[in-house]
Structure 1
Amino acid sequence: MLSTNSTAVAEFQRKSAQAQAALEKVRGRGTAGNGATSAMVDAGGRLRDLTFAPTAAKWGDRIPALVLKASRAAEQDAIAQVQKITKPLTDDPRLRQTLAETKSLLSAEEPGKRRPRPKAEESEDAYFRNFSPHDPR
């Protein structure tokens, strides 16, 4: 089972690296006002570019609403791209099984119960409890 888990983890790491590289290139785009306003955001939804066509002036005091609409459209485009990129990671049944097994192992201890401390750890603690920088032991 361990070698299967190791293989799944290695594959997940490879897929994660590929996804990270792809996510860095994501640019969501959106327009509003028949192209009068265009927005571009990155994978995190941060605005990276905002442009106005010469026809934007005719929209007058509605331009701020167009900016918001174009930005929302760009964010939705970025979200769709991110979901497509991360789908191979989130849909891998082996990864889900490995994560479930790991969670099970980590939660095997009873809540509130501490594991016994190794003797070496106890002796180190005792040494430092009694330690004095002025004691030449």
Structure 2
Amino acid sequence: MTPIPPLVFGYIHSVREHPERLAEAKQRLELWCARESWHLGATFTDVGSPLDLGGRVGFGGLVQALSLPRATAAVVLEVCHLSSRPDVVATLVDKIRRTGAAVWVRAGELPENALKLTAGQATWAR
């Protein structure tokens, strides 16, 4: 019997409208997930919203999707897709973790206050 691959959902954030960069980021997420044998359910995107907590409709969709029974993790290419502010990153990670899903970042590390929130979550081998 073939194991069921983890169901993950991607998140991309861009302050400005850059269709080429967004397409490239989405493709990088898809390749990463394929390489890891994860099932990428969807990629949620916020464009033009500030890096604080307000106005992130895509992030709200991500959190809703992570409430699905098989959802394993939110995947982001870099922490900057969440925010450059450690307090905002921690708040967003907390919202994700409250769904029971993990937060997996391809490159870079979460700030210390956000990293503490990931204790005990499902992990992936880098």
Task: Please report the TM-score for the alignment, with normalisation by the length of structure 1.
Answer: 0.21
Specify the structure having the higher radius of gyration (Cα): 1
Bigger share in strand: 2
TM-score (norm 2): 0.22
Q: Which has the higher helix share?
A: 1
